[in-house]
Amino acid sequence: MNYKTQMEAAKLGIITKEIQVVSEKENMDINKLMDLVASGRVVIPANINHTSLSPEGIGEGLKTKINVNLGVSGDCAYYDKEFEKVKLSIEFGVESIMDLSNYGKTNTFRKQLIDYSPAMIGTVPMYDAIGYLEKDLMDISAKDFLKVVEAHAKQGVDFMTIHAGINKRAVESFKNSKRLTNIVSRGGSLLFAWMEMTGNENPFYEYYDELLDILYEYDVTISLGDALRPGSIHDSTDAGQISELIELGALTKRAWDKHVQVLVEGPGHMALNEIAANMTLQKRLCHGAPFYVLGPLVTDIAPGYDHITSAIGGAIAAANGADFLCYVTPAEHLRLPDLNDVKEGIVASKIAAHAADIAKGVAGAREIDNKMSDARRRIDWEEMFSYAIDSKKAREYFESTPPTDKHSCSMCGKMCAMRTTNKILNGEKVEIL
């Protein structure tokens, strides 16, 4: 039997090598995984031309995955620095990297990234359209946009953010909502501008079937972008956001009918008390498709610390059903992140994802925490460092102020609770002086 996508193979009962790998990584029964992929509740983004890929599953019952954004801009067009971020991301074991380059000819960097990376690769073709086509925004035709999508697909991109839901109906809802921060999605704002300047329907909505045909050919997962995601807690869960989400639900089913895998993207900025309800609403309106969230950031007043505001929201979102977290760095809203910003963003997102997996009861999620706790009880520093998300930083902190007694740290010294209890339980005398 012939198939083009992981979803189509699962519908036909074919176990692909990618499904086999994900089943082993997640310790999930392969028949259960097949059912989830066939129904669209799990995706395995795996372009047929991404030969260096180590496949990952995203969705129901699986570990929460994280994505790192990187890429050049007009003000920071240094591909060598971006590739350092790629290497750091791989070292930290991130499952996904999005190349959001929006300046010059990006295809050389993207090819190197796809050839090198075992992590899945995502792009937003809208960002690349002006540079790739060498046309200004208003001069780009609807079919031109599809050419850029096909170019990315041929190179081996595993998933693409396509803002197909911001059609004329959604735009009217946005205009009537009188938002505080309007449209904060870069790709969404460009499409909105193109629609307003040309008077045409969103090309990705108008030619959605042709778009799906391209994605099907290379098994590219469509990540349905939320052009109307809230850019402030004031705008969260408003009519614009929800009207677009309804459109995304309909587009999800149309993609599944063509055996194309689907992710759905979500907010954004959102108050803590709205997050859980939004996760439930998305899953309901989008038929259980995996949910990919940016944050959400739970307050708007922490520039320089938005990796923290994002991790708080991301942990709550994932604990309530989100499947895929896009990292946020301390540089969010301020500048292109540097290497250290990327590291801080990765660690914060990994903490959020892991905390959510524990809350969701993902199989095996607690095991490493139990190992860390056991090592702490025994005061085995080397073992503790080996379990840490950032073992290098943990070691540096410990060694910066070394204790006089190796069975403690410099905070408690000989008054360490672990040391005291261990000695008493071992029948030893506790001496402090």
The mean pLDDT values, 10 residues at a time, for the chain of 433 residues are 94 98 98 98 98 98 97 76 96 97 82 97 93 92 97 98 97 94 96 97 98 98 98 96 97 98 97 98 98 97 98 98 98 95 98 98 96 96 97 96 85 91 94 86
265 is in an annotated binding site: yes
> Is 200 within any annotated ligand binding site?
no
> Is 36 labelled as part of a ligand binding site?
no
292 known member of a binding site? yes
Is 61 domain-assigned? yes
Final residue before a domain boundary, out of 334, 360, 386: 360
User: Is 409 annotated among the ligand-binding residues?
Assistant: yes
As for how many domains the chain has, the answer is: 2
- Is 187 labelled as part of a ligand binding site? yes
Does residue 119 belong to any structural domain of this protein?
Answer: yes
Are residue 406 and residue 321 in the same domain, yes or no?
Answer: no
Asked if residue 269 belongs to a known ligand binding site, the reply is yes
- pLDDT score at 76: 67
228 annotated ligand-binding residue: yes
Q: Is 227 annotated as a binding residue?
A: yes
Say whether both 99 and 227 belong to one domain: yes
What residues make up the domain containing 405? 378-425
Has residue 430 been placed in a domain?
no
Residue 287 labelled as part of a binding site: no
The predicted pLDDT at position 354 comes to: 98
Q: Which pLDDT score, from 0 to 100, does residue 200 have?
A: 97
- Residue 341 marked as a ligand binder: no
Residue 59 lies in a domain: yes
User: Within a domain: residue 431?
Assistant: no
Q: Which CATH number covers residue 249?
A: 3.20.20.540
Same domain assignment for residues 135 and 235: yes
The secondary structure of the chain, three-state, reads CCCCCHHHHHHCCCCCHHHHHHHHHHCCCHHHHHHHHHHCCEECCCCCCCCCCCCCCEECCCCCEEEEEECCECCECCHHHHHHHHHHHHHCCCCEEEECCCCCCCHHHHHHHHHHCCCEEEECHHHHHHHHHCCCHHHCCHHHHHHHHHHHHHHCCCEEEECCCCCHHHHHHHHHHCCCCCCCCHHHHHHHHHHHHHCCCCHHHHCHHHHHHHHHHHCCEEEECCCCCCCCHHHCCCHHHHHHHHHHHHHHHHHHHCCCCEEEEECCECCHHHHHHHHHHHHHHCCCCCEEEECCECCCCCCCCHHHHHHHHHHHHHHCCCCEEECCCCCCCCCCCCHHHHHHHHHHHHHHHHHHHHHHCCCCCCHHHHHHHHHHHHCCHHHHHHHCCCHHHHHHHHHHCCCCCCCCCCCCHHHCHHHHHHHHHCCCCCCCC
234 carries a ligand binding annotation: no
Find out whether 366 is annotated in a ligand binding site: no
Q: Clarify whether residues 323 and 388 are in a common domain.
A: no
On whether both 305 and 382 belong to a single domain, the answer is no
**Does 186 carry a binding-site annotation?**
yes
103 annotated to a ligand binding site: no
Residue 229, marked binder:
yes
Last residue of a domain, one of 314, 329, 360: 360
pLDDT of 74 reads 64
